[in-house]
Structure 1
Amino acid sequence: MNSDDKVLSPFTLPNGTVLKNRLLMAPMTTCTGFYDGTVNSELVEYYRERAGAIGTVIVECCFIDDRGLAFPGAIGIDNDNKIEGLAKIAEAIKSRGSKAVLQIYHGGRMVEPKLIGGRAPVGPSAVAAPRDGAATPEELTAEEVDGMITKFGEGVRRAIQAGFDGVEIHGANTYLIQQFFSPNSNLRTDKWGGNRDNRARFPMAVLEITHQMVQQYADPSFIIGYRFSPEELEVPGIRFDDTMFLLEKLAERGVDYLHFSVGYTLRSSIVETTDPTPLIEKYVAMRSERLAQIPVMGVGGVVNRDDVDLAMEHGYDLVAIGKACIAYPDWADRIAKGEKLDLFIDSTKREALTIPEPLWRFSLVDAMIRDMSMASKKFKPGIFQEKVQDDANELLINVSLETDRIVDIALADNPALDVEFSTSFDIIRERILDANSPHVDAVTGATTQSEAVKKAVSKAIAKSCKAQLLEEGGDVNQPQHYDVVVVGSGGAGLAAAIQACDEGARVLIVEKMSSIGGNTIKASVGMNAAETRYQKLKGIEDSKELFYQETLKGGHFKNNPVLLREFVEQAPQAIEWLAEHGIELSDITITGGMSIDRTHRPADASAVGGFLISGLVKNVNKRNIDVMLDTSVTQIRYENGAVAGVELLNDENESLVINAKSVVVATGGFSANRDMVVKYRPELDGFVTTNHKGATGSGIAILEAIGAATVDMGEIQIHPTVEQTTSYLISESIRGGGAILVSQAGNRFFNEMETRDKVSAQIIALPEKYAYVVFDEQVRLKNKAADEYIARGFVESAESPRKLADKLGMDYHAFLATLERYNVFVDKQYDEDFGRKTAMRHPLNQGPFYAIRIAPGVHHTMGGVTIDTDTQVLDASKAVLKGAFAAGEVVGGIHGGNRIGGNAVADIIIFGILAGRNAAHNALR
């Protein structure tokens, strides 16, 4: 470093605090907090890794009130219980020699009701944000405004007690503080609204209470920063002269820095669009001598040292670095060495870069990820036009390819497509191009369109690879050779493919549907395992023997005891296998039929299925495992007493032959095959199914064709809690979190934590043949799935039990009596009526109160082909069909006459790993 290097030299703030350089890590959402806004170890390590060479780390915004979180996975500073976790972040940053500053905020009207239990957000006035679907906030009363200022002050106190070196007041991004200053969102007529002076009262009051807390609890070196958005597009809205007015007032009271919130350091006006002058230049020209004493920070578009220098040349004193710090944890070291950086993230490097899984899936990072596994694929360059169909349109899509990458995806002109369609297309297009892979997350609310576009890209890639093979003199009609073919891309198939690849096998995944994930992607509750390290960390005493006995009892003692013993023994190792592959299931709950909390799920208590598939797909991509979508296995070739390969049929009606010594069948069950269900259980005719449409039992048929035996085919499970209009499963984790089941008459009628078959039978026995899952705000806060149900419109909610009963058309006297009686049982931890012994976590007494109408639906087929403990498929005489392996719901015997919730995910991972390992060994020996 040159001695005159201004950027990397120490810098002194107005309060006398010295920063070791002028570089700061910008506050960026990670979505990594626990369900209640507390901090986890993954987040601590993320910040530790990025501290050090950079002078200061500004930690992502913390909500100061439980109605103030503006995004899922937000971390909070709304009560003293949060101090301990936040202190770990502060200590991690400071231990590396950087200053630690914490940003605090309240989302105000920008908060979505689904994030706060269906409640309305709050704001300065009852004016919805100018965006589609925005909720109208409740106007804060004068007393509540005073209370909100106090909450900001308490947030500052907690930040001080957690050991942070400063706070940044978040007065930007159209959040609550900005809403009070904006003439668009603040229509008040009291002292908090009206003219510009009055509208500035709230941000000034927040700054004032911050100073008071610093004076009382901190020393003078504590940093106070303020972030602002310089303009609003809305009419009326904040204009730049309004902002200068506010900044002058802030400077007069005293701040240590001001932080421009813009997407690019040299951004010009978004209002006066004909004026190209960067706003920072206008700021420098307009500020008073007093304001000029306050350092100003720029952010946005900073990747290399040149970007830093350019920002400072235009007037910034400090520079915050955003996405580059995610992609390069040692960013400051790199630019100090003069490195030139390209802003992307290798798709195989999440763990190495210490990027938390929720952040990895967040759009901020997703747009930077490149699928480096595609570099080994060889395309014939050109434009390939594909015709695909979504749920409403036939699409013509042009896919441009170069030798190793997807160059462009263009939609042929179609005047029938609306603006909303085009917007969704642009999003999925960008995701695919940024990832250089069709295997990306679908756009929320446009799933079928996303899958159609992904299918077009997959087909184009297949055609391009085929064309390249022909150009090189290859014969596309010759059978391809793999060591292991995995049929099905649910959890079992993906786990098998990953493990087989790691054993040294060349692997192909064949999937008859248009997308990866199978039925696993719909899984909600979690994965059962006993004697895991996560249980031990939480002080949960469990045993494999108890797990075995409860599963045996739950299966009506019909389980294959040898397979069940293997299942129980291997479960904790399977949990560790997932963790080693970046898929950590560290939170624990309980399901019906279990007496111990042993159902492992993601740290944020979200549904396990999407989390699991997302992590497994990244591992598949990382290993460059080939995948054929929209392709069915018509036959397993079984020659001379052993598997020789498979015959395939793709959606172009092309027949293909694949030679392989091992085949793993992981195609799932047959719950979506009504004829097959009714064949074995006629009384289930007319029941909805929770399964995806690909769960048709095709894998059982192709294995039976080579002699496989089956077992327990009549054992078909119906799940008690299914939303009937959509066939959407309401997770057992809601009951495991403390919910109850109530009839239309307002009464409990059975032990909610009994096995699924028994609970289903009791619902069917009700006169109305449906019931309600009833829970309160305490249950919602600890079960992220509940917010999804609220967002999907399944949930009725009310501030009181009486109002909820009215909404449900239920006798409120009976309903109130039911809740009161159940709450007494919770206090005693003894259910006198139905003998419930588990998940009586707390009384249901905290509003809002919620109800979801449910009835049973076909959920799981316990029957399937027979296997041994090595996952080898057996014939009727129990002889091994050499080279044929099976895992997951296609297999029978493990669950007996009833499956315990949480055991299916364990089943697919445990036996998927075993099948992959053994299939690889068979192929390679």
Structure 2
Amino acid sequence: MTSSERILSPFTLPNGAELKNRLLMAPMTTCTGYFDGTVSSELVEYYRARAGSIGTIIVECCFVDDLGLAFPGAIGIDNDEKIAGLAKIAAAIKGEGSKALLQIYHGGRMVEPKLIGGRTPIGPSAIAAPRDGAATPVAMTTAEVEAMVGKFGEAVRRAIQAGFDGVEIHGANTYLIQQFFSPNSNQRDDEWGGSRDNRAKFPLAVLDITHKMARQYADDAFIIGYRFSPEELEVPGIRFDDTMFLLEKLAARGVDYLHFSVGAALRPSINDTSDPTPLIDKYCAMRSEALAQVPVMGVGGVVNIADAVQGMEHGYDLIAVGRACIAYPDWTARIASGENLELFIDSTQREALQIPEPLWRFSLVEAMIRDMSMGEAKFKPGLFVETVQDDVNELVINVSLETDRIVDIELASSPVQTVEFTSSFEEIRSRILDANTPHVDAISGATSQSEAVKKAVSKAMLKSSKARVAEEGGEPAGPKRYDVVVVGSGGAGLAAAIQAHDEGASVLIVEKMPTIGGNTIKASAGMNAAETRFQRVKGIQDSKELFYQESLKGGGNKNNPELLHRFVENAPEAIEWLARRGIMLNDITTTGGMSIDRTHRPRDGSAVGGYLISGMVRNVNKRGIDVMLDTSVDDILFEQGEVCGVRLLTEEQESLTVQAKSVVVATGGFSANSAMVVKYRPDLEGFVTTNHKGATGGGIALLERIGAGTVDMGEIQIHPTVEQNTSYLISESIRGGGAILVSQQGNRFFNEMSTRDKVSAAIIALPEHYAYIVFDEHVRAKNKAADEYIGRGFVTSASSPRELADKLGMDHHAFLATLERYNGFVEKQHDDDFGRTTALRAPINEGPFHAIQIAPGVHHTMGGVTINTETEVLNAAQQVIPGAYAAGEVVGGIHGGNRIGGNAVADIIIFGTLAGHQAALRAKRS
């Protein structure tokens, strides 16, 4: 029998259980569980798709205790309610003919407090992990150690009841079990620490209770595996001799396999770097006869059959396969048929490959993704030299193109090339080359430079595309035809384009700015919707009627009732529309004017705008939707009483005519047009704006030229919390997370969760016309945006409230009294002073303490063009202008006299998708 045949032949474990081959899918974190650790249907289908030809699937690690999850989206096995969901995974895998194992673990000191509600993680000793920002854990008491062994046992029972064929005990990756064995993390002086024998007691106790549960609840074929990390870099730390000591003891107690946890199956020592001998070779040479009876599994770097064969030749009995199983769900069948595979993922195939969106965004997976959306040849091959400008420098960039891909990007010259500059250039270069598109996320902290590089690539692609058309005898400057032209690339425009494309329309997106995203990319709080499944999962009782009434009240009863009803009714489906496209807004908070948690945001609590645009751009790229940047719309073409296209002006001052059956205008509001703001609201002269510089009202003017009516133009919202030096918005989610507003005198002065107009008015009425938003570490940990504010230098921080007051030049007696009084209100859940009823989440008492000086700024223009509930633009006589559609802040009437925080993001998705649908429908009829 050849080595290849051995790999694909059945294999019997020490307990008699037969695996149909020696190949296993490695346990890989997907981050796809719900907030409470329950299983999502997406996760079930991910595992079902990968079962069948492979012998066994080891399902990703499940936390055994609610303090034990080491990453967001982890799934749990910490209570009996989790059994039903896990049973669906086991049934899906076994139904396809593979065995199903479940890995169980506890993160110990590797758990981040923000993942466990701000609580402090636990560990063998009160010693922080040797990594930046690691929390110091609470040392477990003897009773707690014994109880933890019991929790592992209960987890095994649940795995059995869920129908799994076995469990893998996770004693690797510096998690709790490894922490007990490590002399670095375990410096106890009781029976669970000290000597190597004592440090081995915890992993052995977990193995013992696993056997006990298997004897009590399972049959003899139940598989018990153990995963281990062979070495630690730390001093003191686990060395290979220590590992062999532990493995011999595990073998004596009985395990069905041992699983080497290494990045590459043939990795040598990380301690003795002078010795190139693979650790598996050392293991085979050092193991006893008893240990040699236990099958050993290798993982890391296995893509083709030759990789697996090489691993077995070095002594592995079983081979675990990681990334290759993500890229190829039917990996085993492919290599069995003789395919030689390349490790990459087609960017257009996420749904087909059943890869959950959180896993798609995981760094190891992202690195495998190639943008295949370009399809046929688009470019004339060659080197294009582009000169672009970032904030301070002129950059000369060489862009090399082949017929269908970006080959290389080189920085030809730049006045300044620091280490940071070069590093960020290499990162943005890598992102563009990996994705095969310039439409990628900018590098945090190097946005201007990133956008300049992206612009250079876009310019090169445009020139090359034109050259190819000319070479083939075409007319590059001739009229082009699309079913739908979308003007504006913010959230509404992208939603409209994606929806229209998905309904069969050919679509062009036109954006006057050099980058995609519009004002949406600056959105921070989230997206409001009532009666969503994410609310139901969290037990939040809400209703569309309440949502309607609170939005109407917040808008001063000036909202267009028909548009508001359509808005509220369509909001839950808009959440699902995003989710179906891999954009999950499944964490929920609240904003001012809302009495219920209904503001949906990313799972990690980050600002919604960047996350939303990033996800939608991926969808645009995948669909191959055409995008023209640095291109303005001179006119909407109007003939015989209906819209028939647009006239464009490119950055090179080239005029283009594009014929279209429908035009969707999604250009945003006019907050950045100070003259226009002052025209309608003279009292706002001199106010900063939170908007990007493209929010100038151009779309309103375009539509007015073809007869569109307008409404509510004088209704302009100022946002209460704006950092004045940078005009940067401080998210309402900070107040929604439990922060308060304090005057320079150290006093609260208003209900922080009231509507934006009222809070703004209260700040303006203060003698100094500014205030501080004050929060503690508990709030910061739950709101990722706060870390950005700290990084940007907006935040004053101190270890104590008194120190913070001193830094702010504030009377510390008054400030301390304010905190004490507010914390009392939190305790009794009633604000005696200002009637705040929402976001009284936790007392402000966990240091460090933080403050940001803020004042109001122009934020949103509620007025705009008139539309009906089908997003058709209406003229001054309230008649439909055929072929013209509008969505987003360019539209008036929806929000009345004041917009509730979180309603704008809902608006752009609800009416953006509706506009895309209607525009595509009209194109089909024409």
| CA apart distance, 1:358 | 1.2
Post-superposition CA distance 1:246-275 (Å, at most 9, x none): 544554555443322333323345566665
Q: Equivalents in 1 of 2:631, 2:513: separation in Å?
A: 7
| Residue 379 of structure 2 corresponds to residue 379 of structure 1 | yes
Q: 1:616 matched to which residue of 2?
A: 616
Question: Residues 160 and 166 of structure 1 are in contact (CA less than 8 Å); yes or no, is this contact kept in structure 2?
Answer: no
Question: Residues 356 and 582 of structure 2 are in contact (CA less than 8 Å); yes or no, is this contact kept in structure 1?
Answer: no
| Residue 213 of structure 2 corresponds to residue 210 of structure 1 | no
| CA apart distance, 1:573 | 4.2
Q: 1:99 matched to which residue of 2?
A: 100
Amino acid at match of 1:474: G
| Residue 161 of structure 2 corresponds to residue 161 of structure 1 | no
| CA apart distance, 1:423 | 3.6
Choose 883-892 or 272-281, whichever is displaced more: 272-281
Please list, as runs of the form range in 1=range in 2, the aligned pairs for 1:99-178 lying within 5 A after superposition: 99-106=100-107, 108=109, 134-135=132-133, 138=136, 147=144, 151=148, 154-163=151-160, 165-173=165-173
Amino acid at match of 1:106: G
Instruction: Specify which of 816, 822, 847 is matched with residue 825 of structure 2.
Output: 822
Please list, as runs of the form range in 1=range in 2, the aligned pairs for 1:683-702 lying within 5 A after superposition: 683-702=683-702
Q: 1:770 matched to which residue of 2?
A: 771
Amino acid at match of 1:645: G
| Residue 622 of structure 2 corresponds to residue 625 of structure 1 | no
| CA apart distance, 1:208 | 2.0
Compared with structure 1, are the counterparts of its residues 419 and 12 closer, same or farther at alpha carbon in structure 2 (3 Å cutoff)? farther
Q: Equivalents in 2 of 1:703, 1:634: separation in Å?
A: 11
| CA apart distance, 1:557 | 1.9
| CA apart distance, 1:424 | 3.4
Please list, as runs of the form range in 1=range in 2, the aligned pairs for 1:256-275 lying within 5 A after superposition: 256-269=256-269
Q: Equivalents in 1 of 2:186, 2:606: separation in Å?
A: 38
Compared with structure 1, are the counterparts of its residues 593 and 413 closer, same or farther at alpha carbon in structure 2 (3 Å cutoff)? closer
Amino acid at match of 1:289: E
Choose 144-153 or 294-303, whichever is displaced more: 144-153
Post-superposition CA distance 1:286-319 (Å, at most 9, x none): 3333332232211122223332222212211111
Q: Equivalents in 1 of 2:89, 2:727: separation in Å?
A: 42
Choose 602-611 or 629-638, whichever is displaced more: 602-611
Amino acid at match of 1:566: R
Q: What is the aligned length?
A: 912
Question: Residues 27 and 103 of structure 1 are in contact (CA less than 8 Å); yes or no, is this contact kept in structure 2?
Answer: no
Q: Equivalents in 2 of 1:174, 1:781: separation in Å?
A: 23
| CA apart distance, 1:320 | 0.7
Compared with structure 1, are the counterparts of its residues 576 and 167 closer, same or farther at alpha carbon in structure 2 (3 Å cutoff)? closer
Q: Equivalents in 2 of 1:73, 1:32: separation in Å?
A: 5
Post-superposition CA distance 1:618-650 (Å, at most 9, x none): 332233210012222233344554434333333
SS at match of 2:509: strand
Q: Equivalents in 2 of 1:148, 1:388: separation in Å?
A: 61
Q: Equivalents in 2 of 1:790, 1:33: separation in Å?
A: 30
Q: 2:477 matched to which residue of 1?
A: 477
Question: Residues 369 and 434 of structure 1 are in contact (CA less than 8 Å); yes or no, is this contact kept in structure 2?
Answer: yes
Q: 1:313 matched to which residue of 2?
A: 313
Compared with structure 1, are the counterparts of its residues 233 and 600 closer, same or farther at alpha carbon in structure 2 (3 Å cutoff)? closer
Question: Residues 90 and 162 of structure 1 are in contact (CA less than 8 Å); yes or no, is this contact kept in structure 2?
Answer: no
| CA apart distance, 1:745 | 5.6
Compared with structure 1, are the counterparts of its residues 56 and 687 closer, same or farther at alpha carbon in structure 2 (3 Å cutoff)? farther
Q: 2:704 matched to which residue of 1?
A: 704
| CA apart distance, 1:332 | 3.0
Amino acid at match of 1:158: A
Compared with structure 1, are the counterparts of its residues 894 and 304 closer, same or farther at alpha carbon in structure 2 (3 Å cutoff)? same
Q: 1:917 matched to which residue of 2?
A: 917
Q: 1:905 matched to which residue of 2?
A: 905
| CA apart distance, 1:493 | 0.5
Please list, as runs of the form range in 1=range in 2, the aligned pairs for 1:398-547 lying within 5 A after superposition: 398-412=398-412, 416-530=416-530, 532=532, 543-547=543-547
Question: Residues 552 and 559 of structure 1 are in contact (CA less than 8 Å); yes or no, is this contact kept in structure 2?
Answer: yes
Gaps of 5+ in 1: none
Q: Equivalents in 2 of 1:448, 1:172: separation in Å?
A: 41
Post-superposition CA distance 1:105-162 (Å, at most 9, x none): 4264x6667667788878788988777xx23653765x56985685465245324324
Compared with structure 1, are the counterparts of its residues 596 and 198 closer, same or farther at alpha carbon in structure 2 (3 Å cutoff)? closer
SS at match of 1:407: strand
Q: 1:554 matched to which residue of 2?
A: 554
Q: Equivalents in 1 of 2:410, 2:111: separation in Å?
A: 35
Q: Equivalents in 1 of 2:591, 2:185: separation in Å?
A: 47
Question: Residues 182 and 199 of structure 1 are in contact (CA less than 8 Å); yes or no, is this contact kept in structure 2?
Answer: no
Please list, as runs of the form range in 1=range in 2, the aligned pairs for 1:9-48 lying within 5 A after superposition: 9-35=9-35, 37-48=37-48
Q: 1:759 matched to which residue of 2?
A: 759
Q: Equivalents in 2 of 1:206, 1:744: separation in Å?
A: 54
Compared with structure 1, are the counterparts of its residues 329 and 831 closer, same or farther at alpha carbon in structure 2 (3 Å cutoff)? same
Q: Percent identity between the aligned chains?
A: 70
Question: Residues 16 and 221 of structure 2 are in contact (CA less than 8 Å); yes or no, is this contact kept in structure 1?
Answer: yes
Q: Equivalents in 1 of 2:165, 2:846: separation in Å?
A: 37
Compared with structure 1, are the counterparts of its residues 781 and 477 closer, same or farther at alpha carbon in structure 2 (3 Å cutoff)? closer
Q: 1:296 matched to which residue of 2?
A: 296
Please list, as runs of the form range in 1=range in 2, the aligned pairs for 1:618-657 lying within 5 A after superposition: 618-639=618-639, 641-657=641-657
SS at match of 1:218: helix
SS at match of 2:548: helix
Q: Equivalents in 1 of 2:451, 2:665: separation in Å?
A: 24
Amino acid at match of 2:915: A
Post-superposition CA distance 1:559-618 (Å, at most 9, x none): 233333333344344344434444454555543333455444456655433343233223
Amino acid at match of 2:27: P
Amino acid at match of 1:104: Y
Amino acid at match of 2:826: N
Q: Please give the TM-score of this superposition, normalised by the length of structure 1.
A: 0.86
Compared with structure 1, are the counterparts of its residues 59 and 856 closer, same or farther at alpha carbon in structure 2 (3 Å cutoff)? farther
SS at match of 1:708: coil
Gaps of 5+ in 2: none
SS at match of 1:476: coil
Post-superposition CA distance 1:151-206 (Å, at most 9, x none): 465245324324355544444445566667678x569696899xxx9575676233
Post-superposition CA distance 1:775-800 (Å, at most 9, x none): 784x6777665676677776778999
Question: Residues 64 and 106 of structure 1 are in contact (CA less than 8 Å); yes or no, is this contact kept in structure 2?
Answer: no
Compared with structure 1, are the counterparts of its residues 288 and 34 closer, same or farther at alpha carbon in structure 2 (3 Å cutoff)? same
Q: 1:574 matched to which residue of 2?
A: 574
Please list, as runs of the form range in 1=range in 2, the aligned pairs for 1:703-852 lying within 5 A after superposition: 703-724=703-724, 727-736=727-736, 740-743=740-743, 748-767=748-767, 769-774=770-775, 777=778, 810-811=812-813, 813-826=816-829, 831-838=831-838, 844=843, 847=846, 851-852=850-851
| CA apart distance, 1:471 | 0.6
Q: Please give the TM-score of this superposition, normalised by the length of structure 2.
A: 0.86
Compared with structure 1, are the counterparts of its residues 77 and 386 closer, same or farther at alpha carbon in structure 2 (3 Å cutoff)? farther
SS at match of 1:818: helix
Q: Equivalents in 2 of 1:2, 1:418: separation in Å?
A: 55
